[in-house]
Amino acid sequence: MTDDLIIASNREFTVGAIVKHFKRETLTKEELEKNPNMYLYEIVGIAEHTETKELLMVYKALYGKPTLCARPLSMFLSEVDHKKYPNIKQKYRFVPRDYVEGSPCNNCQCHCEYGCKEKVDWAKANGTLPATYIG
């Protein structure tokens, strides 16, 4: 198993998992109310390019037209370019939908985004409750 496959597994990027792109942080409360699935994606699986053997992450947009997307697995797993996006707090380009850096709820099975009382309390205490929180 390649390092990228191990990383994808460790980050719970399995078939059917819902992930969020770092640009979700840039949405306002109003934009999230209008389109609560913006920058959310469902993992379809990992594919292998038939000629180059490069591993690709295949995922489906959960907003707009349900487009299937693919990008090199290494890029999918990469960190956010914080020089280009200095205001983004998220470390990685994609994380599980309910992931909050340092949160005790990162492995929570309810898949809510700031819906659990414990998660909200933790985020308030740590000053990480996003401006887009609806609650």
CATH classification of the domain holding 69: 2.30.30.320
Q: How far apart are CA 26 and CA 44, in angstroms?
A: 25
Residues 117, 83 within the same domain: no
The model's pLDDT over 79-123, given as tens digits with 9 standing for 90+, comes to 999 999 999 988 899 998 876 555 555 555 444 555 566 666 766
Residues 86, 124 within the same domain: no
Residues 64, 119 within the same domain: no
Residues 29, 54 within the same domain: yes
What average pLDDT score do residues 37-51 get? 94
Report residue 38 CA to chain centroid gap: 11
**Which residues share a beta bridge with 48?**
55
Residues 43, 61 within the same domain: yes
**For the chain, what is the domain count?**
2
Residues 108, 51 within the same domain: no
Residues 72, 126 within the same domain: no
E strand or H helix at 19: strand 18-21
What pLDDT does 111 receive? 45
Residues 15, 77 within the same domain: yes
Structural domain boundaries enclosing 37:
3-97
Residues 63, 128 within the same domain: no
What amino acid is encoded at 95 in this protein?
A: V
The model's pLDDT over 46-91, given as tens digits with 9 standing for 90+, comes to 999 999 999 999 999 999 988 899 999 999 999 999 999 999 988 8
What's 84's DSSP letter? T
Residues 123, 79 within the same domain: no
Residues 71, 131 within the same domain: no
Q: Which residues contact 64 (CB under 8 A, 6 or more apart)?
A: none
Lowest average pLDDT, out of 31-35, 42-46, 99-103, goes to 99-103
Q: How far apart are CA 70 and CA 58, in angstroms?
A: 4
Residues 124, 58 within the same domain: no
Q: Are 38 and 32 in contact (CB under 8 A)?
A: yes
Q: Which residues contact 100 (CB under 8 A, 6 or more apart)?
A: 106, 114, 119, 122, 123, 128
Q: Where are the alpha helices (DSSP H) in 1-135?
A: 3-10, 29-34, 73-76, 117-126
